[in-house]
Amino acid sequence: MEAVVRRLMRGVALTLAFGFSVAAEIVDRVAVTVDKIVITTSDILSHVRVAAFLNEEPPDLSPAARRAAAQRLVEQALVQREMEILRYPAPSGADVDAVLEQLRRRANSPDAFQARLAEYGITEVELRRSLLRQIMTLRFIDFRFRPGVAVTDAEIEAYYRDEFLPTFLANGRGAPPPLEEAREEIEEILIGRRVDEALDRWLTAAAAQAAIEYREEAFQ
């Protein structure tokens, strides 16, 4: 469900409302530690299964896929720590309910929805916790990075000329809209790119300041 969630916001099982495990709570194998935050093998497997459910694709539980999932959870942990420092508020339950309702409608019936959850080996509680975290993280990213982003008219015009028009024409969708009609869409695309770039720079800096340890035996 990439149209709904960003790379950083794919699902993860939580032991508390927003946190990962802490050392005293661990009942399965530790896979990664990020300072005092502990990511377990079950966190990683849950992340893979929920992401696959949202993307409507088979879960990939290979060592490489689990390692990639662990990296995303490390990024989530770094963002989580920043949210806690800034005391960023949690979204309302109604926000999560709205997304869950969309997913239920996609499944056509309540029974079909539950069957899909069972097929992926996840529970509705697990999915709900994941969605709560995703919504909160997306809003925090916009809150933290979007205000500093600006896009110029020249950049919008260049995107329209170099990317928008060629893609539109290649898809055989008829006559393309004029620049002014596409301006708002293009501006959002460019702002999204800048936000992602700012987030990547921040994650690199945050990771350099954190004590991150991968337990290689957890990925065999």
Go through 140-153 and write b for each residue having 16 or more CB atoms within 10 A of its CB, e for each that does not: bbeebbeeeeebee
160 in a domain, yes or no? no
Q: How far apart are CA 166 and CA 163, in angstroms?
A: 6
Range of the domain at 89: 7-147+210-219
Q: Which long-range contacts (CB under 8 A, 24 or more apart) does 102-109 make?
A: 103/54, 103/127
Residue 90 has what pLDDT? 82
Evaluate whether residue 214 is within a structural domain: yes
pLDDT for 20: 53
> What's this model's pTM, rounded to 2 decimal places?
0.78
Residue 22's pLDDT is: 45
Is 193 domain-assigned? no
pLDDT tens for each residue of the chain, 220 residues long: 333 344 434 333 333 334 454 443 445 899 999 999 999 999 999 999 999 999 999 999 999 999 999 999 999 999 989 998 999 888 888 889 999 999 999 998 999 999 999 999 999 998 998 898 889 889 999 999 999 899 999 999 999 999 999 999 998 878 999 999 999 999 999 999 999 999 999 999 999 999 999 999 999 8
Q: Is 187 part of a structural domain of the chain?
A: no
Give the pLDDT of residue 117: 96
Question: Can you give the pLDDT at residue 24?
Answer: 36
Residue 76 lies in a domain: yes
Residue 132 within any structural domain of the chain = yes
Report whether 40 contacts 30 (CB < 8 A): yes
Please indicate, yes or no, if residue 141 is contained in any of the structural domains. yes
**Position of tokens 């995703």?**
134
For the chain, the domain total comes to: 1
List the CATH number of the domain containing 48. 1.10.4030.10
In a domain, residue 83? The reply is yes
Burial status of residue 44 (CB atoms within 10 A of its CB: 0-12, 13-18, 19 or more): buried
| Whether 132 contacts 18, CB under 8 Å | yes
